[in-house]
Amino acid sequence: MAKIKITSDTSLSNSGYHRCGQPNWWVRIGDRFFDIGRIRGDEKLSVEVEVERHETEQIVIHYGVGQSSGRDSVRGSMKVRSKTQVREANAAKQAASVEAQAGYAEVQEAMMR
């Protein structure tokens, strides 16, 4: 199990919240909706969910509040990279750093000549 923090930078306006019938935020991963309690739609979303994930699995999280379309709604999504993807990205950064340092050393040598 992994804990993932989900936050939203936006929320419904107070008038939009009341126009929509005072909806609460929802969070979905795949076809599973998570019980995140009653978080008002005119407040910013900040919640932590526990998900079961495998080392090679990337997770896409969808969240929202309000009607399915229109101005009185907020929708968002985020991707959580797998541990394998993170390791590969870190290895690529490290390799690029080593190449950059080698190139810098060559330039320094050339300048000294």
Q: Band of the pLDDT at 87, cuts 50, 70, 90? A: confident
Q: How far is CA 24 from CA 17, 33, 72, in A?
A: 9, 13, 13
pTM: 0.68
Tell me what percent of the residues of the chain surpass a pLDDT of 90: 28
- pLDDT at position 85 is 65
Q: Which residue has the tokens 């320094």?
A: 108
pLDDT tens digit sequence for 44-84:
999 998 888 776 678 889 999 987 766 778 888 888 877 67
Instruction: Residue 13: name the closest of 40, 38, 39, 42 by CA.
Output: 42
Rounded (10°) CA dihedral 69, 72, 66, 77: 70
Please report which helix (H) or strand (E) contains residue 59, including its range: strand 59-66
Please report which helix (H) or strand (E) contains residue 52, including its range: none
Q: Residue 102: CB partners within 8 Å, gap ≥ 6?
A: none
Q: Is 68 left (phi over 0), alpha (psi -120 to 50) or beta?
A: alpha
For the chain, first and last CA: distance in Å? 58
Q: Band of the pLDDT at 30, cuts 50, 70, 90? A: confident
